[in-house]
Structure 1
Amino acid sequence: MMPQRLIYATKDLRNAIAHNDVIFDTRFRTGKIDKQVGHAISNVTGINNLTFDTITDYLILIIYQLKLLCVSKTDMRKMISGFEDIVDKLRLNIPTNIFSQIIHTDNQSKITILKAFVAR
């Protein structure tokens, strides 16, 4: 996959973080991410249904990029673990119906497959 497509897919997230905007519900997106990016990442990671409608899909994108950059497995695992901790705290602090709108039901299965991808 062309590097510019990966960079473009990350652009809106980067801008939101740089400007302290809300990122947890992906409102920061200014356009659709090319489906080829999602398909390419799915083919490599084994994670299906990458729509970039949830922050989990952006975590997958970032971990995929970090693996391409040969970042250590330990650092990637720490990032995933930190994400899981934040998701657990969120689950405990907001109503279930709101949580389900932010973190979709396939979150845990995607994270499990992502961990296996990092371990390879």
Structure 2
Amino acid sequence: MIVLDTNALMMPVECDVRLFEELDRLLSVERDYVAPAAVRDELEKLADGSGVEATAASVGRDLLDRCSVRATEADYADDAVLELATEADATHAVTNDKPLKRRLLNAGVPVISLRGQDKLGITQP
């Protein structure tokens, strides 16, 4: 299970990253993509705005069709990502959020994030 953060789902617009193609390139095994309900809610709020961020959130919301959205105990998106990423069946988390990345790595979760202009890479704990 790969857990996706809000900014991961916004990468196609904000960073010109072909998110799922890059994840396929990095990970050679069959995988399920999961986003916490708090991420969905955050994308909904951001998509209601205007500008590039709203467009990116709207695209991210559309990309949720390729993910399972799961409820968590945590209401805050970063906490919800950490909660799901530390479950036994989680293998990686995808985020560009530096504080969240640190928390995930400290919890032993490999993190996929932007490397270079439009490529993703894996950081091991």
- Structure number with the higher helix fraction is 1
TM-score by structure 2 length?
0.29
Asked which structure has the greater RCO (Cα within 8 Å, sep 6+), the reply is 2
- Structure number with the higher strand fraction is 2
Larger Rg: 1
